[in-house]
Structure 1
Amino acid sequence: MRKIVSAVAALPFVLVLAACASTPDAETVELEVSDVPWVAAKVQAERIARLDDAGPKLNAVIAYDPEIAAKSRAAKGPLMGRTVLVKDNIETREFPTTAGSLALANNDTGRDAPLIANLRAAGGVVMGKTNLSEWANIRSNDSTSGWSAVGGLVKNPFATDRNSCGSSSGSGAAVAAGFAWAAIGTETNGSITCPASINGIVGFKPSVGLVSRTHVVPISSTQDTAGPMTNTVHDAAMLLGAIAGEDPADAATLAAQNRISDYTAGLDSYSLQGVRIGVMRNQIGNRADVRERFEAALADLERAGAVLVDIEFDPNNEMYRDSFTVLLFELREEMGKYLTSLPGEDMPRSLADLIAFNAANADTEMRWFGQDLFELAETTTDHEAYEKARENAVRIAGKETLDKLLADNDVQFLTAPTRGPAWMSDLVLGDNFNGSIGFGSPAAIAGYPHLTVPMGHVEGLPVGISFFGAKWADHDVLKLGAAYERARTAQLPEPTFGPWKPQAR
């Protein structure tokens, strides 16, 4: 047992064993706390009941097992019963998999995705399902991140009137709120790293191919991957090692043969001395406050021995254009394959079926935004144009952008801010992204690793720093992130579980 001082609005990794007051601003109390995973599981379930089902009602969790402690205690393996919440586009045998849509409300397949089977074999326990941007934010250009017809709108634990980003919004908010040891998100382009940054946690998008996509509601066979969302880089490495693995049903994983390892190895001892890191100066963005936090993070890296190399670079916009074509074409193709695999009766079997369902249920599904991207994808059928777009987008993002930047500047890694601070949620007007900040798209399009780590806050709203490396350099990127964590001098904010307020000066 270890003694800490905590309150209901404590940091996410603080585990409270006593009965707590019902409001987030409860009086601080001194408690005895256990590090045992099954004891933590009991507390985490109580936090979900208090902060997600009631209180501020974060809407981060769609379904969970309130008796998870018993399963945690019985689990065997290196994760020792640690709790993991799973984004609700990944199949688990005990919960329906809805992708946030009422069209899949009864999608109770009884199947585990291979990545979930790997998790269980490693001793992890599935605690429940997290809310998400419906259909992983591919239905409409006018969407509000974090909203789904099944789960409602996810609220940011640091400011409940602000957004948690998408599409893995519930996974990010849940880890920040202390609802589980970790969560699994999925990313096509920014859907792990953005919610991780905005919710003040670690998020890792691995190289495409390390983690199976079988029985995961798809967007793109080229870009989709699942990945860990955690409180520390070490925990992300542990979870990645648990879920990674070859899957004969997913051809992308065959390229990862002999590349999967113990990702925690060397994290604690990795030295930044002499490590050359390229700083993407044009991707810092137009906010002075984010730039200030990023410069402080760079100073931390430099003090730890890193050699920083300034890079002025603007990406080739053909990459974005052609990647969009790829996403639309693959959405129709891959969604059809997934839906036809479902064992239930009276299920949608094609993207056209989903479009028809949304039109028939417009009051619930399309009150806030439409399905323009679904409709566009349904008409994107030119296979030859798709093949050309895919080759061009992947080549530009990988060989001509990331590989070239690393080689020409003689650096091992690249870095930039991940995103700006959370914006106000607005179901009527939709999202308010600051597109000038960040460099995540090339790694997403090329399938390269991308890690975000908290680097401080702007007026109590978290912001993260991103690290990028070559394809399959996942372990090296994680080691860099762990070294930055040790060097970091920034103060990290604590969730308030209430509306945003200006910081005291």
Structure 2
Amino acid sequence: MLKQLSVAVLTAAGLLLPAAADASPARFLDQSTIPDLQRAMDRRQLTSEQLTRGYLRRIEELNPRLHAVVQTNPDALAAAKESDTRRRTHSSRSPLEGIPVLLKENTDTADRQTTTAGSTAMLGSRPAKDAFLVQRLRSAGAVVLGKANLSEWSNFRSTAQIPGWSGVAGQTRNPYALDRSPCGSSSGSAVAAAAGLATVAIGTETDGSIVCPAAATSTVGVKTSLGVVSRGGVVPITAQHDTPGPIARNVTDAALTLSVLAGADPADPASAAATFPKDLRLDRNALRGKRIGVWRKGHTGIDQQSDRIFESTVHTLRSLGATVVDGADVEDISWSVKPDLLPALLTEFKHDLNAYLAATPGDHPRNLSELIAYNDQHRDVEMPLFDQNLFVEANATDGNLNDQAYRRHRAAATGIAQRSIDDVLASNGLDAIVTLSGLPASPLDRPGDPRFLSSTRNTSVAGYPNITVPAGFAGPLPVGISFLGTKYHDAQLLSFAYAYEQATHARQAPRYLPAATG
């Protein structure tokens, strides 16, 4: 790979990253890991400045089709040059030194970039400081390359919302077939990672917002245990669910990035209790001797090609030395939590968003009522495709987190979700559960197959980890599988995902087809 990279550097102005899938520099960037890039930079075969210029050029070439990146950081090249200077004096700060990273556009930066959550109402927002996770990235030497598109307000404005659409940047497109959904809400982050617009991207999940777009774009998405990564400075839906995490083309890059992101934030109490190892070691033999439960109910028997991929996954797990336990189906909690979950979420959203808006400097709505009024006044820009019924319903609550009725709703929903996973793990003596992350991406203008039950609702409401990894293709469309487990088992699940990835190498680079046929 290093020889191939040298050719790329010699034959390009800076680092040429052509959009063509068969061009060798693009292949290098698609297949390389962060350690590969670090070795190249240590050997003076590549600089962070060249790498950053290459990604900026690739964004310029591909983003008009993909709408994955909202903005690039005008200070990115300066940060890359500073990183190169540090490297020359042997003062690299971490494995992310000089590595370009894209942020989801709901993540605060106190620089010349905006933080809008996809809404034109927030174009005047001027956060006073970097989000805690951004502070950690910068301290580690990562280059903040820019910000990625998302489903506006992280998919919590309307029940009719279109994944990947925002008033600020329009519709994100799936790079495997441009007529297919990128899923959401971290659509831009996943598409950018898949298309090689950055080495790694950061997403956030409240329910499926990392796992679904990562699976739809043949990338690795890490939905962490609640609090492993601080939510400080991230536009909220609810502190009871929100979890930032990495999206990358391979498990190695996702794990290294998470190792930098994870840490206790005094302003986020959930992060103080969270645990994640500082010296995470990924192991190709991690599945040997482990008991892995298979969750089929509600996920298989719907799409034949997805079933084929999943059965191949089960075979691979056995070949890697795992004991596969059938019948480890996790209860569909959609109906059992319904009386409690939505009332809790609506109350939390009003409380948390109002607090964020009130504390954020700049010219923008100061609370949810003003935000609703802004959308009504700018319907042509903000509501040409769907309404804001969730905003209206949330605003009708009192937003009081001390209310006893609210507390009962939250405790009931969280308890049901945690038991649905823990009981299956305990009764079967399991180390983890594996299932399909989702079906192949649906057309942009159609919802997904309603027969496929959520594979993220349980982990999201429980605050438990869920890691999706590429598993195969149904025609041109990716299919992912998820490893899920109990609280703070993130590192173990990453090792399982790594062992599976190394045995299968299922990921393929996108081809930017205008449409998926069949």
TM > 0.5? yes
Query: For residues 474 and 374 of structure 2, what CA distance do their matches in structure 1 show?
Result: 41
> Conserved in 2, the CA contact under 8 Å of 1:4 and 1:31?
no
- Which residue in 2 is equivalent to 1:423? 442
Structure 2 partner of 1:181: 199
Deviation, structure 1 residue 88: 0.5
CA distance in 2, matches of 1:438, 1:254: 29
CA deviations over 1:128-159 (Å, ceiling 9, x no partner): 00000000000001111000000100011111
Equivalent pair of 2:284/2:502 in contact (CA under 8 Å) = no
1: CA distance, partners of 2:142 / 2:19? 29
Which of 345, 351, 357 aligns to 1:333? It is: 351
Deviation at 1:125, TM superposition (A): 1.4
Q: Are the counterparts in 1 of residues 149 and 187 from structure 2 also a CA contact under 8 Å?
A: yes
Matched, 1:231 2:249: yes
1:309 is displaced (CA, Å) by: 0.6
Distance 1:392 1:61 in 2: 39
Instruction: Please report the RMSD computed on the Cα atoms of aligned residues, expressed in angstroms.
Output: 2.6
Match of 1:64 in 2: 72
Distance 1:431 1:306, change over 3 A: same
Q: Shift in Å at residue 215 of structure 1?
A: 1.3
Q: Contact 1:156 / 1:162 at 8 angstroms: preserved in 2?
A: yes
Which amino acid counterpart does residue 41 of structure 1 have in structure 2? T
The match for 1:294 is 310
Q: For 1:84-103, what aligned pairs fall within 5 Å after superposition?
A: 84-94=101-111, 95-103=113-121
The 2-side partners of 1:417 and 1:340 are apart by 40
Partner residue, 1:413: 432
What is the CA-CA distance between 1:378 and the residue it aligns to? 1.1
**Aligned 8 A contact 1:234 1:264 in 2:** no
Q: Alpha-carbon deviation of 1:67?
A: 6.7
More divergent stretch after superposition (271-280 vs 20-29):
20-29
State yes or no: 1:360 paired with 2:377.
yes
CA contact (8 A) 2:180 2:444 kept: yes
Residue 393 of structure 2 is matched in structure 1 by 376
Residue 266 of structure 2: SS of its match in structure 1? Answer: coil
Quote the offset at 1:321 in angstroms.
Answer: 3.8
**1:42 aligned to 2:53?**
yes
Unaligned stretches of 5+ residues in structure 2? 29-36, 42-46, 84-91
Distance 1:419 1:369, change over 3 A: same
Is 2:331–2:420's contact at 8 Å kept on the other side of the alignment?
Answer: no
Report how far residue 250 of structure 1 moved.
1.1
**1:212 and 1:190 mapped to 2: Cα distance?**
18
Q: CA deviation at 1:273?
A: 1.6
Contact 1:115 1:211 in 2 (8 A): yes
Q: 2:233 is aligned with what amino acid? A: H
- Tell me which protein shows more helix as a share of its residues: 2
Q: Is 2:293 the partner of 1:278?
A: yes
Q: Distance in 1 between matches of 2:26 and 2:423?
A: 53
Question: How far 1:436 moved relative to its partner?
Answer: 1.2
* 95-104 vs 347-356, which moves further: 347-356
Change beyond 3 A, Cα 1:502–1:4: farther
In structure 1, the residue matched to 2:12 is: 18
1:156 alignment partner in structure 2: 174
156-165 or 14-23: bigger deviation: 14-23
1:349 counterpart = 2:366: yes
TM-score (norm 1): 0.90
| Greater Cα offset, 27-36 or 92-101 | 27-36
Q: 3-state DSSP class of the match of 1:494? A: coil
Seen in structure 2, the aligned counterparts of structure 1 residues 185 and 32 have a Cα distance that, compared at 3 Å, is closer
Distance in 2 (alpha carbons) for counterparts of 1:28 and 1:478? 31
Alignment partners' CA distance in 1, 2:27 and 2:482: 36
Structure 1 unaligned regions, length at least 5: 7-13
For the 8 Å contact 2:347–2:394, the answer to whether it is kept is: yes
Alignment partners' CA distance in 1, 2:80 and 2:16: 25
Once the two structures are TM-superposed, the CA of residue 3 in structure 1 deviates from its matched residue by 4.0
Shift of the 27–315 alpha-carbon distance from structure 1 to 2, 3 Å rule, reads: closer
Q: Which moved more, 1:493-502 or 1:135-144?
A: 493-502
Q: Distance in 2 between matches of 1:438 and 1:81?
A: 37
Question: Take 2:129 and 2:18, find their aligned partners in 1: how far apart are those partners?
Answer: 38
- CA offsets per residue over residues 419-450 of structure 1, 9 Å max, x none? 11111112xxx633545155211110010011
Deviations 1:316-346 (A, max 9, x none): 42224422222111111100000000122x4
C-alpha displacement of 1:205? 0.6
Matched, 1:254 2:248: no
Question: 2:104 corresponds to which letter in structure 1?
Answer: K
Call closer, same or farther: CA 1:127–1:435 in 2, change over 3 Å.
farther
State the distance in 2 between where 1:26 and 1:409 align: 44
Q: 1:433 and 1:282 mapped to 2: Cα distance?
A: 15
1:494 aligns to 2:504 (yes or no): no
In structure 2, relative to structure 1, the CA distance for the partners of 1:184 and 1:489 (3 Å cut) is closer
Q: Give the whole-Å Cα distance in 1 for the aligned partners of 2:242 and 2:420.
A: 20
Give aligned-pair identity as a percent: 39
Count of residue pairs the alignment pairs up: 485
- Comparing 359-368 with 306-315, greater Cα deviation is found at 306-315
Partner of 2:464: 448
Deviations 1:79-122 (A, max 9, x none): 11101100000101221100000110111224201111011111
2:405 aligned residue (365, 385, 394): 385
Q: In 1, Cα distance between the equivalents of 2:277 and 2:426?
A: 25
Which residue in the other structure is 1:307 paired with? Answer: 323
Secondary structure in structure 2 of the residue aligned to 1:283: coil
Cα distance in 2 for residues equivalent to 1:411 and 1:328: 34
SS in 2 for 1:221: coil
Distance (whole Å) between structure 2 residues aligned to residue 283 and residue 245 of structure 1: 36
Q: TM-score, normalised by structure 2?
A: 0.88
- Residue by residue over 1:334-372, the C-alpha shift from the partner in whole angstroms, topping out at 9 and shown as x without a partner, is 00000000122x421111111111001111100100001
1:472-491 deviation line (CA, Å, top 9, x unaligned): 1111111111111122264x
Sort the Cα spacing of 1:23 and 1:451 in 2 relative to 1 into closer, same or farther, 3 A.
closer
**Correspondence list, 1:203-218, <5 A:** 203-218=221-236
Q: 1:489 to 1:45 in 2, by over 3 A?
A: closer
Check the 8 A contact 1:214/1:249 in 2, yes or no.
yes
Contact 1:3 1:32 in 2 (8 A): no
